[in-house]
Amino acid sequence: MDCNRPYFFDKDGDERMVKQNPVNWQALANLVERESRTSLPQRPWDILDLGCHTGGFLELINNRFGKRLDGGSFIKSLAGVEPIESARDEAEKRMPWATFDAWIEETPTCSIDLVVGHEFLYLVQDLYFWTRQLKRILRPEGGAFISLGSHGENTAWLRWRKPLLELYGHTSYIYQPINILDTGYHAGFNMELHRLHTQPQTEMRYSPPEDGWGEFVSAKEALDFQQQKYVFIFYPKR
């Protein structure tokens, strides 16, 4: 991806993305909460958000898991990875107590209990390298919850790839779900695949027609796009 741009899309596009994504973030947080009761350590977590952009999802995670009824916290520390410097600066302003780096390679080995990430994996060029970095940074009892649209099976995404490169300089990569599951397994993970949204999402939450590249051509396409969003769960083999 082009990390020298001041925005992922442009100023208006990035602001709209931040406003549109909470419904996806909330769904991912719901899955983390549900699965963590039996699959993550029952102590405060060191949490990392990959592709954290300006920190909106990390802030939601902080609000969601930062307090318990007994007055304790599920959070020991918060961190984010964001290669676009200006977005990373905004995240640091939003959450000055958190730690932010540009690349996953900067995260210390065996330092993270919970990794989360929403819609960034299609920007990863080397899936083999990335899964091994994920294995390196996770503690053995930890886990990663990574959401991604099924881009290889979605006509909307196939239509958007070229404008994403031409307008914003971002090269995208299509990974079939089976390829992600297989690569994760061979990197040393037990893999699970879940739907991000358990109920249909009726809102058209992506770029409107005036943008000229991200519009849906039908209501069915908009629903299909949402229902093909997956969550890949990576648990180190124990």
pLDDT the model gives residue 237: 92
* pLDDT recorded at residue 2: 59
Q: Please give the Cα distance from 228 to 238 (Å, whole number).
A: 30
**Tokens 């994504």 identify what position?**
21
d(CA 164, CA 219): 22
Of 4, 7, 189, 199, give the one whose Cα is nearest residue 115.
Answer: 189
How large is the greatest C-alpha to C-alpha distance in the chain, in angstroms? 52
pLDDT at residue 179, as a whole number: 94
**Hunting for tokens 């549900």 — which residue is that?**
34
Please report the pLDDT score of residue 150 as a whole number: 74
First and final CA of the chain: distance in angstroms? Answer: 34
Domains of the chain plus CATH, in order, are 11-32+45-62+74-236 (3.40.50.150)
pTM of the model: 0.90
Identity of residue 20? Q
- Confidence (pLDDT) at 16: 76
CB 157 within 8 A of CB 151: yes
- What's the CA gap between 153 and 166, in Å, rounded? 22
Q: Which residues contact 19 (CB under 8 A, 6 or more apart)?
A: none
Residue 238: how many other CB atoms lie within 10 Å: 6
Q: What is the pLDDT of residue 159?
A: 79
Q: What per-residue confidence (pLDDT) applies to 200?
A: 62
Q: How far apart are CA 171 and CA 169, in angstroms?
A: 7
**Per-residue pLDDT reduced to its tens digit, 213-235:** 566 667 677 767 767 789 999 99
Sheet holding 229-236, edge to edge: 99-101, 75-81, 45-50, 112-118, 138-149, 229-236, 189-195
Per-block mean pLDDT, blocks of 10 residues, the chain (238 long): 71 76 90 92 94 94 77 86 93 95 96 96 94 98 93 76 85 92 97 86 53 64 75 94
Rounded to the nearest 5°, which phi and psi values hold at 14?
A: -70, -40
